[in-house]
Structure formats: C-alpha cells, structure tokens
Amino acid sequence: MPSSLLGGAIPILLIFGIFYFLLFLPMQRQRKTQQKMLANLQNGNVVVTSGGIVGTVVAIEGDDTLVLRVKPDNVKIQITRSSVSSLVSAEGKKS
C-alpha cells in the first residue's frame, strides 16, 4: 500500500516541478527586471506605457508619478510609474 501511494505521488511532484521551472521561475525573473527598470527611470528616458503611448520622461514627481512629453504637439501627461511597460531609449534629449 505505501509503495502505491508513493508511486502515485511521484508523477504529481514531477508535474509541479516542471510547472515551476517552465512557468513560475521565468515569470519571477521578468517581474524582477520590470521592477528594476521602473526603479531606474530618469528624465530623458523614452518609454512606452501599457496603453501604447510613447513619450519622454520630463519629470518624476514623488515615488509613483511621472510626467511624459508626448509628440508631435509636446503635450505633457501625468501617469503612474507602474503604467510604464517598456523602456525604448535611455538617451537624454538630443540637441
């Protein structure tokens, strides 16, 4: 009886191990790199928001708010730091 219980538990443990290495570990790494990118945002960075807006960071207000300048009319919008999905460029303003 104990050997059949152990024999039934091994495949389940194996499946959980595979899920951990194929799904959970890469998601944790991606979340860590995203948090690092958000923490290192600076004025002059070109970013893309989760809504698809591309803009240049012109001000960082507090810990959670950014002001973006959006072309072509140089409109300034205020967004939360967490709504930035990716960093397009780390270059400053071109002269």
Predicted confidence pLDDT, tens digits, the chain (95 residues): 566 777 788 888 999 999 888 988 999 999 999 999 999 999 999 999 999 999 999 999 988 899 999 999 999 999 999 999 999 976 654 43
Structure confidence at residue 37 (pLDDT) = 92
Regarding whether 30 and 12 lie in a shared domain, the answer is yes
Domain membership of residue 56 as a residue range: 42-95
Tokens of 50: 């989760």
Regarding whether 77 and 46 lie in a shared domain, the answer is yes
Regarding whether 92 and 60 lie in a shared domain, the answer is yes
Regarding whether 63 and 83 lie in a shared domain, the answer is yes
Number of continuous H segments (helices) and E segments (strands) in the chain: 2, 5
Structure confidence at residue 4 (pLDDT) = 75
Structure confidence at residue 28 (pLDDT) = 93
Tokens of 30: 């991606």
Domain count, the chain: 2
Structure confidence at residue 9 (pLDDT) = 85
Rg (CA), the chain: 22
